[in-house]
Amino acid sequence: MAPPLELFTFAILFLLVVVAASIPTTLEGPFEPVTRRLDSSLRQGSDDVPLSDSRLAKKVKSPFPEQIAIAASFSPSSLWISWITGDAQIGSNVVPLDPSTSRSEVWYGLQSGKYTYHKNGTAEVYSQLYPYEGLFNYTSGIIHHVRLDGLVPGKMYYYKCGDSLLKAMSEEHTFQTLPAPGPNSYPSRVAVVGDLGLTHNSTTTIDHLTRNDPDMILFVGDLVYADQYATTGGNGTSCFSCTFPDAPIRETYQPRWDGWGRFMEPLTSKVPMMIIEGNHEIEPQIDGMKFQSYQSRFAVPAEESRSNSKFYYSFNAGGIHFIMLGAYVDYNLTGLQYSWLKEDLKGVQRKVTPWIVAAWHPPWYNSYSSHYQEFECMRLEMESLLYQYGVDIVFSGHVHAYERMNRLYNYSLDPCGPVYITVGDGGNIEKVDVEFADDPGKCPKQDDNKPEFGGVCHMNFSTGPAKGKFCWDRQPDWSAFRDSSFGHGILEVINSTYALWTWHRNQEAYGERMTGDQIYIVRQPDMCLAQKIDGDA
C-alpha cells in the first residue's frame, strides 16, 4: 500500500530543511572574513577568441537578422527585441547604411508558427570615427529596436523578426515574459555577470551560465572589450597603454561587438539581458562623442522608467524592483540621475515589489588592490539615499574577481545595510585580479586608481582597526568572502524575505563539485524599513 500523501509532504519538507540548514543566512552574520586565493594550477587569464571562430562568424546573408537580443521593459507586459541587418564597414572611407532601407518588424504569438500579433519599431546606425591618420573608421549594420506591449506576464511567446516585404525574416525564436509584480511572484533564476569580454574563459562562463537556465541576465558592465585592440584589428591585449603607448586615443576594433553579438545570440534571443555601462563602453571618438556602441546596440527601458538617459533606468521582474545606475555620468546630489533615483525609490511599493536590487559597474566596497576606493565620490553622494530606502542587494563588477560583503553602511557593519557583491569575474582579457589591498606592500597610493569619470575622494579610515590608515592590514571585517576566480552568479528569490545567492566558479564547469559561494540573503523589513522611512514597507 502506498504511503499517505502527508508522509511524502513531510519527507520533502524535512529534506528542504536539512539542505537549507547547510547553507548560511545573512541572519547569522556578520561572518569572519574568508579569502580563497587563485588556484596555482590555473592560469590568470586567456586570449580572446578570434573573429574567425565559427561561433563569432556571420551565419545569415544580408538582409536577414542577426545578433538578436531581447530586453525587459519596465513592466512584464512589454519587452524589447533588437537585431542587426546589413553589413558593417571598417576602413579609411566608410559610408553609413540607410536605416530606411530595412523595416523593423516583429511577428509573434502564443503558438509556434501562429503569429497573431505584429509590431513595428525603429532603426538606426552608428559610426566610430577617429580624426587621426592611419586609424580605421567603422560604421555599423542597421540596428533595429521593437517594443512589444500587451503581453501576458509569465507566458511563452514565439516570434520572428526582420522585414516581411523583403522576405527576410528570422527563424522562429521564443521568449517567456517575466512574472507580474507581486510579493509571491519571482523569476526562477536571475543570472548576474560582469566584465565578460570574449576570451576562452568568457565562453566557459557563458556555457556554464546557460546550463543554469536563467530567466533573466543582469549584466553589470564591460561587455566586449573592443577597446583592447587597435582600430586595424590584430590581437587584443591585456594592457592597451602598455602595448600601444603612442596611441593618440583609446582605440577600438568595433567588429568585436559584432562577433560578441553573434556569440551571445543563442542565449540573448530567448532570455532578457539587462545591461549597464562600464568603463570599457566609453569608447571615445571624434568630436568628444562616447558610448556610441552601448547607446545604439541595446534597448533599455529608460523612457518607460521615466529616465532621460540609457545610462540609468529601472524595471520590475515579479516582486523585485531593479535599479540600474550610471557611474560614468553625473551622480552628484544636484544632478538629474540623483533626482531620478530619489523619485524612483519613492515610487516603489514594497508590498508589491518587496525586494530592491541595485546594480552599477564599479564597486563602492572592495578590498582588492585593483580599483581600490576608486568610486568613493559616487558612494559619498548616493549611499545614504539607497540605505534610507532599504535597498537589499547591490551588484557591481569592474574588479576582475569575486567578493561578497557583510551587510554594511558607510564602512560600518550594519544589519540593515545592503549586501554588496562584486562579480566582475566574467573572464575578460585583462585577467583575474589576485592582489589584495591588505597584502604586505600591495596597498595602493592615494593618487592611484583615479576614476575615468568624476572626482577623487580617497580617504583614510576614521574608525575601526584601520583608523588613520588608507588600507587595512588584514582582510576588512566588512569583506565576508573573496575569491580570485572567474565565474557568474545566480539569484533565486524564494519569497518576500528570503533569496538564495549562489556564485559559481568556472572550475565547476570542469568537474569541480565545490560551489564557489552560497548564502541565503534575508530581508528584515520590520526591523529595518520601519526605522528608515515612513511609507509602504
Residue that the C-alpha cell 561587455 belongs to = 223
Please give the Cα distance from 191 to 49 (Å, whole number): 23
Please give the Cα distance from 443 to 431 (Å, whole number): 20
DSSP label at 114?
B
Measured distance between the N- and C-terminal CA atoms of the chain, rounded to whole angstroms: 49
Q: What is the pLDDT of residue 52?
A: 96
Please give the Cα distance from 313 to 301 (Å, whole number): 6
Please give the Cα distance from 239 to 228 (Å, whole number): 7
Model pTM? 0.95
Q: Say which of 208, 280, 371, 400 is annotated catalytic.
A: 371
User: 3-class DSSP state for residue 78?
Assistant: coil
Please give the Cα distance from 335 to 20 (Å, whole number): 44
CB atoms within 10 A of CB 416: 17
Could you state, in order of their start, the residue ranges of all structural domains in the chain?
37-66+181-534
Q: What is the pLDDT of residue 43?
A: 85
Give the strands of the sheet with 355-359, arranged side by side. 34-36, 479-483, 402-405, 419-423, 393-396, 355-359, 320-324, 313-317
**Residue 150 CA: distances (Å) to CA of 109, 146, 251, 307, 400:** 11, 13, 42, 22, 40
Q: What is the DSSP string of 414-456?
A: -TTS-EEEEE--S--TT-----BTTSTT-PPPTTSS--SSS--
> What's the length of the chain?
537
Q: Which residues of the chain have pLDDT under 70?
A: 1-21, 509-510, 512, 530-537
Q: What is the DSSP string of 279-341?
A: GGG----GGG---HHHHHH----TGGGT-S-TTSEEEEETTEEEEE--SSS--STTSHHHHHH
* Nearest of 486, 106, 98 to residue 269 by alpha carbon: 106
* Nearest of 207, 179, 176 to residue 193 by alpha carbon: 207
Please give the Cα distance from 287 to 308 (Å, whole number): 22
Q: What is the pLDDT of residue 21?
A: 57
Please give the Cα distance from 80 to 62 (Å, whole number): 22
User: The C-alpha cell of 524 is what?
Assistant: 528584515
Radius of gyration of the chain (CA): 23
What's the sign of the alpha-carbon dihedral 283, 284, 286, 288? positive
The answer, yes or no, to whether the previous bond of 30 is cis (omega within 30 of 0) is yes
Nearest-5° Cα angle at 83, 78 to 88: 155
* Nearest of 185, 211, 200 to residue 490 by alpha carbon: 211
CA 306 to chain centre: 21
CATH architecture for residues 37-66+181-534: 4-Layer Sandwich (3.60)
Tell me whether residue 488 is one of the annotated catalytic residues: no
Please give the Cα distance from 474 to 33 (Å, whole number): 9
Please give the Cα distance from 410 to 379 (Å, whole number): 9
Please give the Cα distance from 129 to 283 (Å, whole number): 10
Please give the Cα distance from 395 to 491 (Å, whole number): 11
Please give the Cα distance from 526 to 537 (Å, whole number): 8
Please give the Cα distance from 49 to 52 (Å, whole number): 8
Give the long-range contacts of residues 327-331, CB within 8 A, separation 24 or more: 327/277, 327/360, 327/361, 327/362, 327/375, 327/378, 327/451, 327/453, 327/454, 328/277, 328/278, 328/279, 328/282, 328/291, 328/361, 328/452, 328/453, 329/453, 331/377, 331/378, 331/381, 331/382, 331/454
Q: What is the pLDDT of residue 508?
A: 83
pLDDT tens digit string along 100-117?
A: 999 999 999 999 999 999
**Residue 261 CA: distances (Å) to CA of 65, 69, 70, 241, 255:** 12, 8, 12, 26, 10
Q: Cβ(366)–Cβ(479) under 8 Å?
A: no
Residue that the C-alpha cell 516585404 belongs to = 165
Residue that the C-alpha cell 528608515 belongs to = 532
Please give the Cα distance from 428 to 482 (Å, whole number): 18
User: The C-alpha cell of 532 is what?
Assistant: 528608515
Q: Which residues pair with 105 in a beta bridge?
A: 120, 162
Please give the Cα distance from 193 to 210 (Å, whole number): 12
Q: What is the pLDDT of residue 533?
A: 55
User: The C-alpha cell of 184 is what?
Assistant: 509571491
